[in-house]
Amino acid sequence: MLADSQGIPHISTGDILRAAVKNQTPLGVKAKEFMDAGELVPDSLVIDLIRERLKESDAQPGWILDGFPRNVAQA
């Protein structure tokens, strides 16, 4: 896999969202409210989750982002 060969993380938006909800982070709690209501998580919240993840130390040398953007608004 490219991420492994380059020593950078493979970052999946779905994984970020599931982890935030599971760990009950402030953004995860907000996302869960939308999910429990059967609604899509708003683009702004998805972007905030990604932004937060990309600030982590393992992503500083680079990253591969999977599942983003999913629509024009996210781009």
Mapping DSSP to helix (H, G, I), strand (E, B) and coil, where does residue 63 land? coil
Rg (CA), the chain: 13
Residue 59 has which token pair?
Answer: 């992503």
Spell out the per-residue pLDDT of the chain, length 75, in tens.
Answer: 788 888 899 999 999 999 999 999 999 999 999 999 999 999 999 999 999 999 999 999 999 999 998 888 888
What distance in Å separates the CA atoms of residue 63 and residue 42, rounded to the nearest whole number?
A: 23
Q: pTM for the complete prediction? A: 0.86
CB atoms within 10 A of CB 12: 16
What distance in Å separates the CA atoms of residue 30 and residue 40, rounded to the nearest whole number?
A: 12
